[in-house]
Structure 1
Amino acid sequence: MLRCLVQDHPKQWEEVLGKAEFAFNAMPNRSTGKAPFTIVYTKAPNLAVDIIVLLNCKSGSAATFKDNYSKLLSDVRQQIIRSNQWYKAAVDIHRRPCSFQVGDLVMVHLRRERFLPGAYSKLAKRKIGPVPIIAKFNDNAYSVELPPGCNTSSTFNVTDIWPYNSTDDAPITLSSSESSSSEAGED
């Protein structure tokens, strides 16, 4: 908005900041359907001509004002609820519902953000597994049994967990790191 107002004089942005703020507060918001001025001050902003008109306060008008303001707040509340439902529906299209139980085998996605700087190689495996789920905190957070080489938290968001689907019908056995290292030493 400031770029449009200053046009060829970008260093004069401070001079138009008040106009930009007034214009923003006077425009209806997409979520509420009302202008911020209307919500806060219960009426549209006064222009230079309207400032000289003074509102007479009487008990009848005070009651009307209270009713109008209550209705305005109710309308704004309903508009916000409708907007939130619309946004939720738009996001839910891309959401995949997943629910796991303790003991289920899953694949886990390891994001770079989970590791200390310099500890994550861009050539490292992105998914590890199958690993069993050892705890369910809620439908959104699970704890898995990570291999000993992973230096990260074992709690994952459901968006980073996929069910493990074996390519064959052979039973899957998971061994602990101690038994696999002792077996390797016996050879």
Structure 2
Amino acid sequence: MVNTQLKFSSAYHPQTDGQTEVVNRSLGNLLRSLVGENVRSWDFKLSQAEFAHNHAVNRSTGFSPFQVVYSVLPRGHLDLLPVPSKTRWHGKAEDFVRGLQEIHQSVKDNLQKVADKYKQYTDRKKRHVEFEVGDFVWAVLTKDRFPVGDYNKLSVRKIGPVEVLEKINPNAYRLKLSSHIRTADVFNVKHLVPYYGDTSDDDNSMVNSVHPEENDEVQELACKFLEKYDGKI
């Protein structure tokens, strides 16, 4: 009646479900507050932490997990103080499903608004660039691309210029790497910087920079330093 669907993930790999990781982290924070110095008593506080988590209103959805699943909030300790009425009216199944569907629609709308907000914020910092086969680029080497024991914080992080051999998709490119570079030849576009033809020796000395804009910042800081301490050193 409520169109419930099961979504399976691979076994022994909870990282595939990001929401599970978020819930586990939230429960861990709750348990840390409840147990205090009695760390080994966490299992006695687990039901209390679970109820508190399911009863709290989520900032993104605007509803608590109890409302999303059951369309109503369970009675808490304060709600149970008065004597419950025996003449309490219970709604029909159709009313329950209708109310649940309305809550689910509101949750989807709220999540879409939050997602649009985060996307708008992220797009401000995103640079859109595409390359074609035959173009030359600088390739940024991340820490995981270095062989074990070869990585150093002062190592050159940018190699190139290298030629683009294949455009797999707008986000992935295959490069023509030198034989001495022992890493995969497929790079994400965020790790590629356009190469604008011949450069001077001064430009080549700054290949450690991750973004081309950093070179201008370094030069500006150097000029300010020289102006301030000119004649004093």
The alpha carbon displacement at 1:8 in A equals 4.2
Please tell me the root mean square deviation across aligned C-alpha atoms, in Å: 2.4
Which of 185, 193, 213 lines up with 1:154 in the alignment?
A: 185
Output the amino acid matched with 1:32.
T
Whether 1:14 aligns to 2:43 is yes
Q: For the residues of structure 2 that align with 1:75 and 1:126, how far apart are their CA atoms?
A: 47
Partner residue of 1:101 out of 124, 128, 132: 132
Change (3 A) 1:77 1:53: farther
Q: Which residue of 2 aligns with 1:143?
A: 174
In 1, the alpha carbon distance for the partners of 2:56 and 2:131 equals: 47
1:123-138 equivalent positions in 2, closer than 5 A: 123-138=154-169
* Match in the other structure for 1:29: 58
Whether the 8 Å CA contact 2:132–2:167 is kept in 1: the answer is yes
- Asked if 1:167 is matched to 2:196, the reply is no
The number of residue pairs the alignment matches comes to 166
Gaps of 5+ in 2: 1-29, 201-233
Give the direction of change, closer, same or farther, for the CA distance of 1:120–1:3 in structure 2 (3 Å limit). closer
Q: CA deviation at 1:44?
A: 0.6
Q: TM-score, normalised by structure 1?
A: 0.77
Deviations 1:84-130 (A, max 9, x none): 11121222222221111111110001112023322445554211111
Identity %: 36
Q: How does 1:42-57 map to 2 (within 5 A)?
A: 42-47=71-76, 49=80, 56-57=89-90
Q: Which has the higher contact order (CA 8 A, sep 6+)?
A: 1
Q: Following TM superposition, by how much is the alpha carbon of 1:52 offset from its aligned partner in structure 2, in angstroms?
A: 5.5
Equivalent in 74, 90, 106 of residue 105 of structure 2: 74
Scaled by the length of structure 2, what TM-score is found?
A: 0.63
- Counterpart CA distance in 2 for 1:53 and 1:76 is 32
8 Å CA contact 2:70–2:100 kept in 1: the answer is no
Q: For the pair shown, which has the larger CA radius of gyration, 1 or 2?
A: 1
